[in-house]
Chain A
Amino acid sequence: MAHFQIEDLTFAYPTAKGRSLDGVNLTIDRGEYVVLCGKSGSGKTTLLRHLKTVLTPHGKRGGRVLFNGVDMEQVSQRDQAAKIGYVMQDPDNQIVTDKVWHELAFGLESLGCDQKTMRARVAEMACYFGIQDWFHRDVATLSGGQKQLLNLASIMAMQPETLILDEPTSQLDPIAASDFLNTVRKINVELGTTVIITEHRLEDIFPYADRAIVMDGGQVIADDTPRGIGKALHERKNDMFAAMPTPVRVFYGANGQGECPLTVREGRNWLNRCFPAPPQIHGLPAEPLEEEVTNPALSLKELWFRYEKESPDVLRGVSAQVPTGSLWAIVGGNGAGKSTTLKAICGICRPYRGKVKIFGKPLEKYKAKELFGGCLAMLPQDPKSLFVKKTVREELAEMTDDRQKIDEVTALCQIGTLLDSHPYDLSGGEQQRSALAKVLLTQPRILLLDEPTKGIDSFFKEKLADILCKLKDQGVTIVMVSHDVEFCAKYADRVSMFFDGQLLTTDTPRRFFGGNSFYTTAAGRMSRHVFDLAVTAEDVVGLCRQAQEG
């Protein structure tokens, strides 16, 4: 008997015109690891929410969902709570209580378990997830990754048969995300829990999934093994192909033969088979970095900063020069001080030593109005921090009365269709672009971006990159802090590594990522034994084609 049986499920939200789900038929077996992919708004979340009645949205529904052969409506709330675990996107708001131990026990308390059972289960979970060390801590002191792990653990304490995860890592940095996904995989392998997951970061889960399901416009358009999905999407020239892991994209881009690689290891082996002897073309030319920047838009000189008198220094001599009209990306670990650097540039943090110069003029000489009115602006990590009105149109009107300017920015950010929506009703990528539009209305000549690709899928990333390129053409200088090495490799003009409170190396992306062996893109790791300095999937595809022709 199938674990979940979805029969002809159709759903429409009360106010929406079209259907969010349109005749979905699916069978999910016990212990399967299923990845659900699709663009934002393709109906993934709506489908997942139908697998648990308390979360099912209101609207017009047809068809049915069977859980262990019983109609979902007939399964008691208690059984659903205990047997179907559901992890959502937002690490913060999912947490209910203020202490880690209490959060672990929350589900068990709700089910009315007795002390003895609770004690045993909570202890068990704390050990399994390695959270003994922070068992007594306040939830507020945890990092995003720890919070999401806690959410997972508190659900696993109820010993569910199924784990449903709705973009669980979209708010996490890559290292925390891959930790989290490894734990999910461990649960699937070691406990046999059925896992149904939606994710943007397919690189980390695609190779391990039993099955991938692609949705588009509320319909299931493909349902196959991950390898089969890669092939199907390539053949249909579907947009979703851009979200496939790098080895898959390179393989089909270079018209590869044989079995499609899914992991970096398989990708390397495939390249070895392709090129038994080293190819004629052995890499891409390294474009040198101009060391001397004349007339920089932004210059930082020996910045030192700490948050409190007694706390350690966060910035320990940060120096940089950013040429006008370029995109500068800062990469580096969590809590290294990248965001603090941005704050120091826009004067939210005041370094106790060192100088920030903007267009050659020291920061402290600027008046706030002069600085933020046409010179400098920052897009915060959480775009929601900028939303204060009921519609996107009002948000933009708050910034300026100039209709023409608003129209220009609306066109640039492609938010024409979103103007009358409430900012909170938009998807992550749409929110990002609306917030960016608001920021751009101050007409900044230097734009600061804090993790602009966090939580957005590959299509929105491309749209964002488009916008950034257009801004650069207009002469805007962009400073970006990011964890997204793929994005930085593709679009940045210069990349700096932030470590130990300093900017250690600055170079062009090709030389920067091409020189690294760990901290680099999947494409770089996959091809560095054959080609030098190929850091994006496009680079590798181009080189493969040239090598095959030549």
Chain B
Amino acid sequence: MTNDPFSKCHPTVNFLYFLGVIGCGVLIQHPAYLAAGVLCGGLYYLLLNGRGGWRRILGLLPLFVLLAAINPLFNTQGQRILFRIFGRPYTLEALLYGGAIGAMFVSMMLWFGCYDRVLTGDKFTSLFGNLIPAISLLLVMVFRLVPHFIRKTRQIVGARRSIGKGVGEAASGADKLKHGLVVLGALTSWALEGSVVTGDSMRARGYGSARRSSFMIYRMTWADYALLAAMMGLLGLVIGFAAGGSAAAQFTPSLKIAPVSGFRALGLGAYWAYLLIPTVLYVKEAIQWHISRLKI
């Protein structure tokens, strides 16, 4: 686990940030904006995952190429025909559009990868803790039960194997299904039994005896508020410019991409700044540590 300062911010800040990133990423198709999304997403992804992150990023490359190349096969609109395939035109515009879709897809994969590392299950549920305690508790219990079930399934399968009731190597499909159903049945009885104990344990600790409150392990600090304000400011700028048409892009039937120049570059700049927030925080902390180490 890397020591990422953005991950240590309040979950609300994390959540709103990713909401902004993903919202913009899906809605804006302007190539310059897409490129910013992919680059910044990739950078932060690498910071979070270290060297292992390269593999995933490189793995996304063929996906990008595939998405770009496939689009013209289905979408034949466009003016500049590169060649004909199966008697249908393969156009440059459609290819570029495919590239844009591919880039959007890659950028979303990267950002969701970051989201996964930053906003862990407990952070996510704590977001709703105060608003809807009942739902938040339900989520927490589900988060706990799923791995629990997987472990138990393995245990049952192993136990049955060691008394000769496992699925043999040469079992037919019907046998496998039957075996699966037996295991599922056993798992169900076990889960029901467990839920009785869990229910007792909850009631024994006063569940339902009063209005629930929610223990907030995360606290909003002034730094969180400041970051939130900065985020909102930048996001406001991006949305404002986008609404004004600075981020408009059309690929088919004809290529119409809003130029990025002069005053309009401000929108793109705000977008870059917004996307770089976690990276900047990361670098800032790294420098601070470096300096304080030099002082010793």
The verdict on B295 contacting chain A, using a C-beta distance below 8 Å, is no
- Rank and list the top 8 A-B pairs by shortest CB-CB distance, nearest first: A81-B206, A372-B164, A105-B215, A385-B159, A378-B162, A107-B205, A93-B197, A110-B206
Interface segment among A95-103, A303-311, A403-411, A498-506: the answer is A95-103
A101 near B201 with CB under 8 A, answer no
Please pick, from A52, A78, A112, A382, the residue contacting B204 in the complex, using a CB distance under 8 A: A52
Which of A52, A54, A76 has the most CB atoms of chain B within a 10 A radius of its CB? A54
Binding site for B on A (CB under 8 A): 52, 54-55, 76-78, 81-82, 85-86, 88, 90, 92-99, 101-102, 105-115, 118-119, 122, 139-140, 151, 154-155, 158, 343, 346, 348, 368-369, 371-373, 376-378, 380, 382, 384-388, 398-399, 424, 438-439, 442, 448
What's the least CB distance linking B185 to chain A, in Å? 6
A93 near B141 with CB under 8 A, answer no
A115 near B159 with CB under 8 A, answer no
* Chain A neighbourhood of B160, CB < 8 A: 385-386, 388
What's the least CB distance linking B236 to chain A, in Å? 32
B203 near A439 with CB under 8 A, answer no
CB within 8 Å for A102 and B163 given contacts A93-B194, A94-B197: no
Cross-chain pairs A/B with CB under 8 angstroms, 6 sampled: A81-B205, A96-B140, A102-B122, A102-B215, A107-B206, A385-B160
Q: Chain A residue with minimal CB distance to B201?
A: A94
* Chain A neighbourhood of B148, CB < 8 A: 92, 140
B159 near A380 with CB under 8 A, answer yes
Please pick, from A81, A109, A371, A386, the residue contacting B213 in the complex, using a CB distance under 8 A: A109
What's the least CB distance linking B179 to chain A, in Å? 10
* Chain B neighbourhood of A106, CB < 8 A: 202, 205
Please pick, from B161, B194, B207, B215, the residue contacting A115 in the complex, using a CB distance under 8 A: B215
B155 near A118 with CB under 8 A, answer no
Q: Chain B residue with minimal CB distance to A97?
A: B140
Cα A298 to Cα B190 in complex, Å, equals: 34
A98 near B213 with CB under 8 A, answer no
A110 near B205 with CB under 8 A, answer yes
B144 near A139 with CB under 8 A, answer yes
* Chain B neighbourhood of A382, CB < 8 A: 155, 159
The verdict on B59 contacting chain A, using a C-beta distance below 8 Å, is no
Cα A282 to Cα B163 in complex, Å, equals: 47
A112 near B169 with CB under 8 A, answer no
Which of A55, A106, A115 has the most CB atoms of chain B within a 10 A radius of its CB? A106
Q: Chain A residue with minimal CB distance to B169?
A: A368
What's the least CB distance linking B3 to chain A, in Å? 14
Cα A538 to Cα B68 in complex, Å, equals: 82
What's the least CB distance linking B156 to chain A, in Å? 5
Q: Chain B residue with minimal CB distance to A398?
A: B165
* Chain A neighbourhood of B58, CB < 8 A: none
Cα A112 to Cα B133 in complex, Å, equals: 11
Given contacts A99-B122, A140-B147, A372-B163, 16 further A-B contacts (CB under 8 A): A76-B209, A81-B205, A81-B209, A90-B194, A96-B201, A98-B144, A101-B215, A102-B140, A102-B217, A106-B205, A108-B215, A112-B213, A113-B213, A373-B164, A377-B164, A382-B155
Please pick, from A112, A348, A384, the residue contacting B190 in the complex, using a CB distance under 8 A: A384
Q: Chain B residue with minimal CB distance to A424?
A: B193
Which of B121, B159, B216 has the most CB atoms of chain A within a 10 A radius of its CB? B159
A90 near B197 with CB under 8 A, answer yes
What's the least CB distance linking B224 to chain A, in Å? 16
Cα A122 to Cα B183 in complex, Å, equals: 40
CB within 8 Å for A448 and B162 given contacts A107-B206, A110-B212, A122-B215: yes
* Chain B neighbourhood of A158, CB < 8 A: 205-206
A368 near B164 with CB under 8 A, answer yes
The verdict on B210 contacting chain A, using a C-beta distance below 8 Å, is yes
* Chain B neighbourhood of A155, CB < 8 A: 205
Binding site for A on B (CB under 8 A): 121-122, 133, 137, 140-141, 143-144, 147-148, 151-152, 155-156, 158-166, 168-169, 182-183, 185-186, 189-190, 193-195, 197-198, 200-217
What's the least CB distance linking B83 to chain A, in Å? 47
* Chain B neighbourhood of A111, CB < 8 A: 206, 209-210
CB within 8 Å for A388 and B204 given contacts A108-B215, A372-B161: no
Cα A399 to Cα B160 in complex, Å, equals: 11
B162 near A82 with CB under 8 A, answer no
Please pick, from A140, A346, A376, the residue contacting B144 in the complex, using a CB distance under 8 A: A140
CB within 8 Å for A118 and B213 given contacts A158-B206, A387-B186, A442-B164: yes
* Chain B neighbourhood of A90, CB < 8 A: 194, 197
Q: Chain A residue with minimal CB distance to B162?
A: A378
A112 near B163 with CB under 8 A, answer no
Q: Chain A residue with minimal CB distance to B186?
A: A388
What's the least CB distance linking B252 to chain A, in Å? 48
* Chain A neighbourhood of B186, CB < 8 A: 385, 387-388
* Chain B neighbourhood of A119, CB < 8 A: 215
A369 near B168 with CB under 8 A, answer yes
* Chain B neighbourhood of A385, CB < 8 A: 152, 155-156, 158-160, 186
A78 near B209 with CB under 8 A, answer yes
Cα A140 to Cα B121 in complex, Å, equals: 14
Cα A377 to Cα B161 in complex, Å, equals: 9
Cα A362 to Cα B46 in complex, Å, equals: 48
Q: Chain A residue with minimal CB distance to B198?
A: A93
Cα A99 to Cα B122 in complex, Å, equals: 8
A369 near B197 with CB under 8 A, answer no
A110 near B162 with CB under 8 A, answer no
* Chain B neighbourhood of A384, CB < 8 A: 190, 193
A88 near B144 with CB under 8 A, answer no
B162 near A98 with CB under 8 A, answer no
Please pick, from B147, B190, B194, B208, the residue contacting A110 in the complex, using a CB distance under 8 A: B208
Cα A183 to Cα B202 in complex, Å, equals: 23
Please pick, from A78, A102, A386, the residue contacting B206 in the complex, using a CB distance under 8 A: A78
What's the least CB distance linking A86 to chain B, in Å? 5
Which of B144, B147, B151, B169 has the most CB atoms of chain A within a 10 A radius of its CB? B144
